[in-house]
DNA sequence: AAATTAATTGAATGACCATTCAATTTATGT
DNA sequence: ACATAAATTGAATGGTCATTCAATTAATTT
């Protein structure tokens, strides 16, 4: 089946990019990494651009999956809500994902409209999901914030801003930990909890 | 003088990266762009890595300059403080800087320790400056926030997170504008103004 | 003016790149 | 078993890459 081979190739491309950087990840290296000929790679992806777009889609899809993992259900308690937030700030996918490759893809949106559209769709969807979760928290009487939309946007800005800054520090670093707690504490403090 | 030539080359490298992407910015293209031989470029930068590091330093230095431009002085009034914040969120350097090149450089920190160190030093310095400005605002009796340190960190997370997200939208876009106002409004609301 | 140093050229090198393609192997359907 | 299609190979192509270097020109010093 062609679809699985395509996916295999994308995964290999990702693995190679992780090792040598996206800018040095070539078709030949992908083939070599898989133990197949470079010609075969090009049989599944007519151009390198196609492969790049495939990688981008793959990364975004995986990212979404990890991002939403765990808190798919309803937000029924204050604890659920806090876990949701902590989950957003935890850089747990670092074990699955490479930030260098991710930001390299992100950088491409500024020169490639297709990349920008993909990223935009992904981010809008991600924001929508958080908004819905917060809406649920409100409907379930956990919080009483009035402007859920902007609340979600603020939280995501904090999340994304924290990734950007914390990328500088090792995850074991003490500063990394305390900084992360600062962000989380501020976030949780944004909620107007209902008195029960 | 060698120093000015080096700077010329870095600037040309930046201009080329802007046009074709950092991953496609080659020594030859830099030479071509300047109307000099590729050999001369390599005379000033022994390896391409040196040139890359030169570009990174240049970008960070310029970025800092634009970031701090205007609000070098004391924060004496509430208006000064608000302007400082608005300035941080305004993407005004987009006319001078290319986000694609910037994020491409940023992505390199994940695989190159020298890049990471440069970026880290730059960000720490930038954060220090904002912290000092807020401290001034406090000493001048404009705000009464107790934890200036974490306040500065939260503000920067919002700033960086907003850049990340707003990169997706055209600056003329209505959503871009309203989103930006959401961030700014939230930021200003973080201040505990003194009653005068 | 001669000597020395610095700036600059441009061609050569060998490696790697994305892409093409004819040939071959493997799988699939009849 | 045969025929058709799909998967795969590997070599060839022409281009660009970073890097090297001997030769040349310009600037500076003596």
Q: What distance in Å separates the CA atoms of residue B41 and residue B27, rounded to the nearest whole number?
A: 7
B55 CB-contact burial (10 Å; exposed 0-12 / middle 13-18 / buried 19+): buried
Query: Which pLDDT value is given to residue A92?
Result: 77
Query: Which pLDDT value is given to residue B107?
Result: 98
Q: Please report, in angstroms and rounded to a whole number, the separation of the first and last CA atoms in chain B.
A: 56
The alpha carbon of residue B192 is apart from the nearest alpha carbon of chain A, in Å, by: 15
Q: pLDDT, tens digit, for every residue of A139-189?
A: 999 999 999 999 999 999 999 999 999 999 998 899 999 999 999 999 999
Quote the domain boundaries for residue A63: 56-189
Confidence of residue B91 (pLDDT cuts 50, 70, 90): confident
Q: pLDDT, tens digit, for every residue of A47-98?
A: 999 999 999 999 999 988 888 776 667 889 999 999 999 999 987 777 778 9
More confident residue, B94 or B32: B32
Q: pLDDT, tens digit, for every residue of B100-156?
A: 999 999 999 999 999 999 999 999 999 999 999 999 999 999 999 999 999 999 999
Tell whether A31 is covered by a domain: yes
Q: Which residues of A117-152 are buried (b: 16+ CB within 10 A; e: fewer)?
A: ebbeebbeebbebbbebbbbbbeeebbeeeebebbb
Separation of A32 CA and C24 C1' (Å)? 20
From residue B77, how far is each of B143, B145, B159, B193 by CA, in Å? 10, 15, 22, 11
Q: How many domains does chain B have?
A: 2
Tell whether A194 is covered by a domain: no
A129 in the same domain as A176: yes
- Retrieve residue A78's tokens: 């204050």
- Retrieve residue B95's tokens: 């006319």
CATH number at residue A28: 1.10.10
Chain D nucleotides near the protein (CB, 7 A): 6-12, 16-22
A153 in the same domain as A82: yes
Tell whether B194 is covered by a domain: no
Tell whether B195 is covered by a domain: no
Average pLDDT, chain B: 93
Query: Which pLDDT value is given to residue A3?
Result: 83
Tell whether A195 is covered by a domain: no
- Retrieve residue A5's tokens: 């081979």
Q: pLDDT, tens digit, for every residue of A89-138?
A: 987 777 778 999 999 999 999 999 999 999 999 999 999 999 999 999 99
A168 in the same domain as A90: yes
**Stretch B75-99: mean pLDDT, rounded?**
88
A126 in the same domain as A39: no
A24 touches strand C (CB under 7 A): yes
Asked if A177 contacts B178 with a C-beta cutoff of 8 angstroms, the reply is: no
More confident residue, B40 or A74: B40
B155 in the same domain as B62: yes
Query: Which pLDDT value is given to residue B93?
Result: 73
Q: pLDDT, tens digit, for every residue of B155-164?
A: 999 999 999 9
CATH number at residue A177: 1.10.357.10
Q: Please, which residues bridge with residue B143 across strands?
A: B193
Give the residue nearest to nucleotide D8 (CA to C1').
Answer: A40
> Long-range contact list for A164-170, CB < 8 A, 24+ apart?
A164/B106, A164/B160, A164/B161, A164/B164, A165/B123, A165/B153, A165/B156, A165/B157, A165/B160, A166/A91, A167/A99, A167/B106, A167/B109, A167/B110, A168/B109, A168/B116, A168/B119, A168/B120, A168/B123, A169/B120
Q: pLDDT, tens digit, for every residue of B172-195?
A: 899 999 999 999 999 999 999 988
A177 in the same domain as A86: yes
More confident residue, A116 or B2: A116
Q: What distance in Å separates the CA atoms of residue B11 and residue B193, rounded to the nearest whole number?
A: 43
Across the interface, of B107, B165, B186, the residue whose CB is closest to A100 is: B107
């Amino acid at each position: 089946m062609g679809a699985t081979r395509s996916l295999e190739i994308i995964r290999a491309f990702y693995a190679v990019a992780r090792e040598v950087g996206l800018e040095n990840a070539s078709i030949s290296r992908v083939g070599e990494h898989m133990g197949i000929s470079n010609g075969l790679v090009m049989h599944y992806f007519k151009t390198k651009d196609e492969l790049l777009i495939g990688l981008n889609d793959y990364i975004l899809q995986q990212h979404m999956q990890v991002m939403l993992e765990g808190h798919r259900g309803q937000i029924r308690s204050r604890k659920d809500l806090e876990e949701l937030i902590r989950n957003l700030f935890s850089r747990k996918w670092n074990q699955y994902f490479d930030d260098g490759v991710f930001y390299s893809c992100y950088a491409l949106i500024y020169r490639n409209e297709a990349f920008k559209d993909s990223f935009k769709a992904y981010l809008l969807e991600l924001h929508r999901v958080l908004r819905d979760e917060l809406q649920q928290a409100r409907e379930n009487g956990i919080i009483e914030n009035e402007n859920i939309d902007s609340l979600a946007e603020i939280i995501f800005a904090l999340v994304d801003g924290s990734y950007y800054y914390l990328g500088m520090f090792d995850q074991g670093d003490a500063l990394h930990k305390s900084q992360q707690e600062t962000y989380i504490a501020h976030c949780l403090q944004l909620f107007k909890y209902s008195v029960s």
